[in-house]
Homo-oligomer: A and B are copies of this chain.
Amino acid sequence: MDGKWICEFGAGMDAPPVEADAALLGAKGDSLVQMSGLGLPIPPGFIIAAGASLAYCDTGKHSPGLEEQVGKAWERLESNLRGLGRPSLVSVRCGSGDLIPGLMDSVLNLGINDENVENLARMSDSQDFAFDAYRRFVEMYGDAVLGVDRRHFEEILESYKARHDLELDTDLRARDWSALVKEYQKMIHKRTGMDFPRTREEQLWGAISAAMRSCGNARARGYCRAQGVDCSTAVIIQAMVFGNVGEDSATGFFSSRDVVSGERRLRGQFLRDSQGGDIAENARSPLPLCADGDVSLGRSLEETMPQAFAGLQNAAEKLERHYRDMVEVAFTIERGEIWLLESLRGDRSTRAAVKIAVDMVEEGLSTRSEAVLKIDPSSLQQLLHPMLDADAEYEVLAHGLAASPGAVSGAIVFSADDAEAFERQGYKVIFVRRETSPEDIRGMQSSAGIVTTRGGITSHAAVIARGMGRPCVCGARALRIDEKGEALYVGSRKLERGATITIDGSSGEVILGKVARIQPEFSGELKRLMNWADGYRRMGVRANADTLTDARLALEFGAEGIGLCRTEHMFLDEERILAVWQMILTRSAQARQEVLEKLLPMQREDLTGLFELMAGLPVTVRLLDPPLHEFLPRRDEEQKRMADASGVNLDNVRRRIAELRESNPMLGHRGCRLGITYPEIYEMQARAIFEAAAQASKKTGSPVEMEIMIPLVALKRELEVLKERINGVAEEVRAETGLSLQYKVGAMIELPRAALRASEIAGLADFFSFGTNDLTQTVFGISRDDALGFLGAYSREGILEQDPFVSIDQKGVGELIRLAVERGREERSDIILGICGEHGGDPASIEFCESLGLEYVSCSPYRAPIARLAAAQAKLRAADN
């Protein structure tokens, strides 16, 4: 639209350019052009393209030619309206709609002044209407264009009503409105030093300039910078139609389907004798559009204005066919005649979105791939977890991070022991802690929900809770646990152990007392959609699952294998932790070997179950990863228990704990470094895996697809040494069982060095699994547990557009992954590449994985459906490009 800023629409106007650019017209403007093209009844008008506001904000002057073009469009509009016998009043609105915050509010009835208000009265046959319209205009213009706060107008109105003993606005008549217009204009003069503009031209340019200028405010600019879009707005000038000229007139809106259930039925509200905005503000209750089968009430539009209703239904069908989607429409009825003012692809619940997408395929309105692309994968999590009842009222105690979705109520406890004890007594508990560590896992397992007062979206608590599918709110800083861990404080309010709270892990709210919930369902439509998605998907979807429960859930949610089975979680059981403590306390390899022999059958048993369940599907088992001190007790009584259980004196226990303490455990003695320095640990684990596989395959008759994963590899030689030892154990088990064990050994790529040296590592690895959590931590040098102190400020200041722990940082972390993929494949073309970090369940990250051609993504079982859908979308989009 170089040099041409105007796009006209509606009957009697110039047709818009065939390919008018939606971005330049704004969503509202574009909808007007589209509807006009469909022959729907639209008040005529024109749009000033967004580019003009950009130029105006930069230079403070309107673009050359703009005034002339606006002038010509206006002339055409005015003569058009004159021909129709309509008043030449217009609305001026920003075209970017609600997206950008701080843009100018709409100005209606523009064009009225002292001279022509009487004409309007004549045309509308109502003095009251005409002067009310004038009053409304002065108020809106004063507020939106001249910057005089609404409150000043309200004060004048209230004082006028008090003086004249009038109660409701509807009690006011033409003379009252006329008097108020004068008082308003006087007040505006006093506050701004300016006379209220009289001419249509002054008024119009005042409003256009204000609309454009509103892009320059700090809020709007901050928002646009964060979104990475130009800060600009189209301006829409459109003929007024009036819903407030009697009982045969109305304003209203509708959606073409039910936004909650997705049912195919017009849903909406209308208000007789009203003008735009009145529905939200007015004291009168709006009425429903449809009778909903019960026509006895006789109040719906369907019954009372069946012709207008039919017109709207007809328009809805045309728009659905055009957009291949549900639409939301704003309309006005003026003396029985319908006018459409705007159409949007409206918001809807996820349940509705799924139903609508699937129904539209059935109705022949759209294709399966369109349906698959229509659903935001992340929104699915709403369907997979219980939600708070939207109608419930409640008191929010604190806001934290929405760390793991779902809502749950329960009694608060502050220790793992209490969690277990309460649970045994049949209570649902919410486990509240400053932050969690692996020794809290038993407590988390016994809890219905988890709250931490520190820690970020990828802290230990959050990661484990998501893995377990427990609702979790993290970093609820307004909460404080007292020193003794016996009560919770919010400000000065105290909640004792056992008090009931509700948490909503989808919103981050911590709520006082119990709140009603809505249970999720994996509906027939969702299953249908997921099946279609699976048909388009190229990448596999596996789940991160450590237990049989996890694995069953994974299968239920459509995972095609286990991409990460963390063996350490098997150690945390009450009975086993004692053996683990002994293993850690022991300083001799020999004694350690003896303790490990106690752990071997336990680990083998767990794995046997897992292998049997997953028969025929791949299972990636990661060897011990966390530093040993994470297993050790922190509290005195537990340390004492550890000493007693191990027959070691308490001082020695404490000394060993102090010895193992690390400054930066994340970068410490963990992962394959443990495997190298304590060979007997990994050897026990390898034996457990092989023996379990032997048992499981005997039972199921199909071989186990074992993938043994070495964590935290930085050096080729680490993998070499460990692989040799694992192969040695396999040889032994082969000799003992007589079975031919097939297995893969691979490396977790979660350190920059491993990515850089991918070529030589690939020479030894059957597979790579990208551990993007740790990779993000090391590439950024940010500990996810400590990031809360500054990541908030970073996102507020627009320094980080996106939390890199939620979505892969494609420019930094992503470059290393790409490099590792290239180098790995070059060395070994059949290497299996996957991702098992938290990002495996994030749609943007999944799209990135598709672009790299990874074989699979692995995520928490609860996110498997999200991953399936996102992977399908990624493939469809990739095929499109």
Contact = CB atoms under 8 A, between A and B. Distances in A.
Contacts of A813: 753
Nearest to A480: B655
Contacts of A786: 662-665, 667-669
Interface string A773-806: 0100111111101100110011001111000000
Contact of A714 (B673, B677, B782, B785): B782
B663 A663 contact: no
Interface string A679-719: 00000000000000000000000000000000010110110
Nearest to A659: B454
Contacts of A782: 667-668, 714
A816 B669 contact: no
A809 interface: yes
A664 B781 CA distance: 10
Contacts of A665: 663-664, 786
> Which residue, A677, A715, A781, A816, has most C-beta atoms of chain B within 10 A?
A781
Contact of A677 (B715, B757, B790, B798): B790
A668 B676 CA distance: 28
B721 A799 contact: yes
A617 interface: no
Contacts of A752: 752, 778-779, 781, 812, 816
A666 interface: yes
Contact of A781 (B714, B721, B756, B815): B714
Contact of A797 (B662, B667, B721, B811): B721
Contact of A753 (B712, B794, B809): B809
A677 B794 CA distance: 8
> Which residue, A667, A811, A815, has most C-beta atoms of chain B within 10 A?
A667
Contacts of A624: none
A673 B777 CA distance: 15
Interface in A647-678: 662-669, 673, 676-677
Contact of A783 (B668, B714, B793, B797): B668
A751 interface: yes
B757 A811 contact: yes
A229 B798 CA distance: 54
Nearest to A720: B799
Contacts of A774: 781
A462 to B, nearest CB: 14
A790 B714 CA distance: 13
Contacts of A664: 664-667, 783, 785-786
B812 A757 contact: yes
A666 B668 contact: no
Contacts of A815: 756
Contact of A667 (B717, B756, B777): B777
Interface residues of A, number: 48
Nearest to A799: B717
A673 B676 CA distance: 35
A813 B757 CA distance: 10
B667 A812 contact: no
A798 B663 contact: no
Contacts of A669: 786, 789-790
Contacts of A793: 676-677
A800 B715 contact: yes
A663 B785 contact: yes
Nearest to A785: B663
A785 B785 CA distance: 19
A813 to B, nearest CB: 8
A795 B677 CA distance: 11
Contacts of A779: 751-753, 756, 778
Nearest to A674: B790
A785 B664 CA distance: 8
Given A783-B667, A783-B668, A717 B798 contact: yes
A762 to B, nearest CB: 15
A799 B676 contact: yes
A750 B809 CA distance: 18
Nearest to A811: B757
Contacts of A663: 435, 665-666, 783, 785-786
A341 to B, nearest CB: 41
Contacts of A662: 783, 785-786
A458 to B, nearest CB: 12
A428 to B, nearest CB: 30
A189 B239 CA distance: 121
A790 B667 contact: no
A780 B811 contact: no
Interface in A712-738: 712, 714-715, 717-718, 721
A459 to B, nearest CB: 9
A790 B712 CA distance: 13
A712 B778 CA distance: 12
A750 B778 CA distance: 11
Contact of A718 (B676, B712, B799, B812): B799
B781 A712 contact: yes
A779 B756 CA distance: 9
Nearest to A658: B434
Nearest to A454: B659
Contacts of A666: 663-664, 667, 781, 783
Contact of A715 (B435, B676, B799): B799
A663 to B, nearest CB: 4
A798 B790 CA distance: 40
Interface in A731-762: 750-753, 756-757
Contacts of A799: 676, 715, 717-718, 721
23 contacts: A662-B783, A663-B666, A663-B785, A664-B666, A664-B783, A666-B667, A667-B667, A667-B778, A668-B786, A668-B789, A669-B790, A673-B794, A676-B799, A712-B781, A717-B799, A721-B797, A750-B781, A751-B779, A752-B752, A753-B779, A753-B781, A756-B816, A778-B781
The 3 closest A-B pairs by CB, nearest first: A667-B783, A664-B783, A668-B786
Given A667-B777, A752-B812, 5 more contacts: A668-B782, A677-B793, A714-B781, A757-B812, A774-B781
